[in-house]
Amino acid sequence: MLRLYTHPACLQHDPGPGHVERPARLQAVLQALDHDRFAALDRIEAPRVTREQLQRVHSAAHISEVLLGAPAGEMLALDPDTVMGPGSTEAALRAAGAVVAAVDAVLGGEARRAFCAVRPPGHHATRELAMGFCLFNNVAVGAAHALAAYGLKRVAIADFDVHHGNGTQDIFEREPRVLFASSHQSPLYPDSGRKDERGVGNIVNGTLSPGAGSHEFRELWEGVLLPRLHAFKPQLVLVSAGFDAHRNDPLADIRLGSEDYAWITERLAALADAHADGRMVSTLEGGYDRGALAACVGAHVGALIG
């Protein structure tokens, strides 16, 4: 059975009128997952992450800034794109907590796979900074928890968001127990993720040129990223699941369809089956066209269910 982690607080993070990372994104996702074909999902309310869990990947100063949050009735801009409202701190705690709880579930034998339908997203948040709509790095918190609490030696993070997960790379580029494999458009925000950024041999970046589509995306994963992931033999597979490489997304220029997200999810599930006893946790990142996002999440979760 697939576990679904979410929390109503994630709908209360409101970065202000006109912001593309709006609550309606998660509403579209949850509506898509309310379909009869997902009736068997094991739906769990996400807990709050703890300060100890956050401190494994974020500085004390960064954690304090997010926990202090925005004053009641006001907005707090951490950078030009990343804005907190009164409900943002609780949403961030639940989003990171969802991934930790999902890791506990799959490593504790309660579930084989899990999807975290949460926001704010996380993969741009570095050890020191909130950026790119992200407050805490949810997937990094989950990976560090797997290392610290379960003693895993090999955790893989696969990131197919159209934007490079610079925060995840920043946090783990000197941690050989974590392999980070990313496909992303270049050039594009945050202007990182070159092929020569290799960390300690644990960073694998694959770039897609503007206008690339299904063929280029699948060729990159089949030819470069998946072979490296299989060679690593991960004991746990984590996924930064961004759906903004869809052809309708307003923030990028890659031309994928929902069928491509089903395809990559099936390949990553096969990776988990081959090396990690099927243990796989996926968490929502980007995707800013609500119709495309709903369709892509449906394809992704359908493939996770298998």
Task: Say if strands 203-208 and 236-241 run parallel, antiparallel, or are unpaired.
Answer: unpaired
Q: What is the reported pLDDT for 269?
A: 98
Cα separation, 194 vs 124, in Å, equals: 15
Helix (H) / strand (E) element for 44: namely strand 42-45
Structural domain range at position 278 = 2-305
Task: Say if strands 155-159 and 236-241 run parallel, antiparallel, or are unpaired.
Answer: parallel
Q: How many CA atoms lie within 13 Å of 49's alpha carbon, on the beta-carbon side?
A: 36
Closest CA to 282 of 149, 99, 135, 107: 99
- What does 103-128 look like in DSSP terms, one character per residue? HHHHHTTS-SEEEE--SS--TT--SS
What is the residue-level pLDDT of the chain in tens, covering all 306 positions? Answer: 899 999 999 999 999 999 999 999 999 999 999 999 999 999 999 999 999 999 999 999 999 999 999 998 899 999 999 999 999 999 999 999 999 999 999 999 999 999 999 999 999 999 999 999 999 999 999 999 999 999 999 999 999 999 999 999 999 999 999 999 999 999 999 999 999 999 999 999 999 999 999 999 999 999 999 999 999 999 999 999 999 999 999 999 999 999 999 999 999 999 999 999 999 999 999 999 999 999 999 999 999 999
Closest CA to 124 of 184, 71, 175, 198: 184
Task: Say if strands 83-84 and 76-77 run parallel, antiparallel, or are unpaired.
Answer: antiparallel
Helix (H) / strand (E) element for 179: namely strand 178-185
> Number of folded domains in the chain?
1
CA 12 to chain centre: 19
Q: What is the reported pLDDT for 285?
A: 99
- Here the CATH number for the domain that contains residue 53 is 3.40.800.20
Q: What is the reported pLDDT for 55?
A: 98
Q: Which residues are catalytic?
A: 124
Question: For the whole model, what pTM was predicted?
Answer: 0.98
Q: What is the reported pLDDT for 187?
A: 98
Q: What is the reported pLDDT for 1?
A: 83
Cα separation, 173 vs 179, in Å, equals: 9
